Structure 1
Amino acid sequence: MRRRREEPDLLLAFVSRGLAIVPAAAPRGPGCSCSRVGCPNPAGHPLSYGWQTEASADPAALDRWRQRLPDVNFATPTGRTHDVLDVPISAGRIAFRALTSTTESLGPVAVSAVGDRCLFFTRARAGGEDDSASDEWWPCDLDAAPETGVGGPGLRWHTRGSYVLVPPARAVNGGRARWIHDPTAQLPDPLRLLGALADACESVAAAGDLTQW
């Protein structure tokens, strides 16, 4: 499958700002490109079990991965340089409009490849790259864990030990992740967005609105 012309620029812009990525599985027919029988998260997970240590923000690494593993998706580990606040698409729409109508700083925002979630990229809540700051990290009931859906169907917080797929990742359903707000925007403090996202989730919880963006 030939890549769209703009795809390399999307990923290169992401890693060039110091945000790491790692190769992830991609659709293969109706299933996953990984070798795992009965994969529970088709085209939605890193290829390697060592994804946290293998991830890199080096553009040269991206070039090597593209040559060796054509047409893969890419994921970004969270909790180092950045976190991701992840909400249902209907709540994401409400929060996005509310935040862009104010002076609140809004960082990169993406729609997931499946099309059902909205991803707000923020600064990391955890200690970051400096291991000496590890004691500053605190767990949260909203924390998301890979492949398990931990964090519930509403607001999820991707931090240490989690990841999200980076646009233009592809899903088994034919969807494609895309940026809806500048991927080069400055990363905001997650706590500054948390209230708006929580309010948006609460406002759509009873209605069950799953309308696409």
Structure 2
Amino acid sequence: MEDSIAALSRLAGEQLLDTAVRYVEERHWDVLAGCWLEVDEGGAPRCSCASGACSAPGAHPTRPDWAAQVSGSAAAVRRMWQRQPRASVLLPTGRTFDVIDVPESAGFHALARMERMDLPLGPVISTPARRLAFLVLPGAAAKVADLPSVLGRPSGALDLVARGEGDWVAAPPTRMGGGGVAQWARRPTALNRWLPDIEEVLRPLAYACGRQAAGARGR
């Protein structure tokens, strides 16, 4: 049994490494090896950071100075996973892209609407926390902070989070708290190599988040 678990862990680590290298080589994204999920004595998953109060089990940097460890070199990424074979794949935001993080239901509604409108779209990550993360050009975080003047409503009224410089997003196929896996709702392809500006997708996303908030208040 232990041998089979070790074999599965090794295969998972190889998949994470291979994927991280592809992100660097094919998309020119910077990558960071983060914490990972382990199994405690009772068989429950826990974060490798060993904190009982961990807010992002298996999906956060391993050290405070993580920004200095980020790399866009395939050789450096391979060295990261040699040291931490089960590490999660983290992508720092505020560099080649920012991320707009919204609830899953609102995100899929906005995604379908934007596809019908033929708006430019980049890759989109789906997380086990039932969130969608839309990749957009850097600088989005500052523009989202200006939501009141753009949309005529307070930014705090919408469950729409911008992740820019100093933040990160867990990338597929990272396992996260609860045993779920980050997946691509819209995979990176040659057709979406060029990311949209936040101004091209902000209104549909904000509209979908606003509809969800109104529905929640009406229940």
| TM-score category, normalised to shorter length | 0.7 to 0.9
1:42 aligns with: 57
Q: Deviations over 1:160-205 (max 9, x none)?
A: 1211111111112110001121324221111211111101101112
- Tell me which of 35, 43, 46 is aligned to 1:25: 35
Structure 1 vs Structure 2 CA RMSD:
2.6
The question of 1:193 aligning with 2:195 is answered no
Please tell me the residue identity of whatever aligns with 2:34. Answer: A
Deviations 1:77-124 (A, max 9, x none): 111221001100011110111111222110011102x24100100110
Which shows bigger deviation, 75-84 or 182-191?
Answer: 182-191
List gaps (5 residues or longer) in structure 2: 1-8, 40-44, 148-155
Q: Which residue of 2 aligns with 1:130?
A: none
Counterpart mapping for 1:174-193 below 5 A? 174-184=179-189, 185=192, 186-193=194-201
Q: 1:97/1:62 Cα in 2 relative to 1: closer, same or farther (>3 Å)?
A: same
CA distance in 2, matches of 1:122, 1:69: 29
Map 1:96-175 onto structure 2 (within 5 A): 96-112=111-127, 114-125=128-139, 140=145, 154-175=159-180
Indicate how the Cα distance of structure 1 residues 163 and 152 shifts in structure 2: closer, same or farther if over 3 A, else same. farther
Normalised TM-score (structure 1):
0.79
- Per the alignment, in what secondary structure is the counterpart of residue 215 of structure 2? coil
Describe the superposition over 1:31-71 as per-residue Cα deviations: whole angstroms up to 9, x where unpaired.
Answer: 11114453233222111211112111111122112221111
Q: Which has more helix, going by share of residues?
A: 2
The structural deviation recorded for 1:153 is: 7.1
Runs of 4+ in 1 over 4 A off after TM superposition: 4-9
Q: Give the structure-2-normalised TM-score.
A: 0.77
TM-aligned CA deviation for residue 207 of structure 1? 3.1
Q: Give percent identity, aligned residues only.
A: 34
Query: Which of structures 1 and 2 has the bigger CA Rg?
Result: 2
Distance across 2 between alignment mates of 1:80 and 1:28 = 30
Shift of 1:7: 4.6
Name whichever of 186-195 and 29-38 sits farther off. 29-38
Counterpart position of 1:3: 12
Unaligned stretches of 5+ residues in structure 1: 127-136, 143-150, 209-213
CA distance in 2, matches of 1:154, 1:68: 37
Q: Of the candidates 83, 86, 89, which is equivalent to residue 104 of structure 2?
A: 89
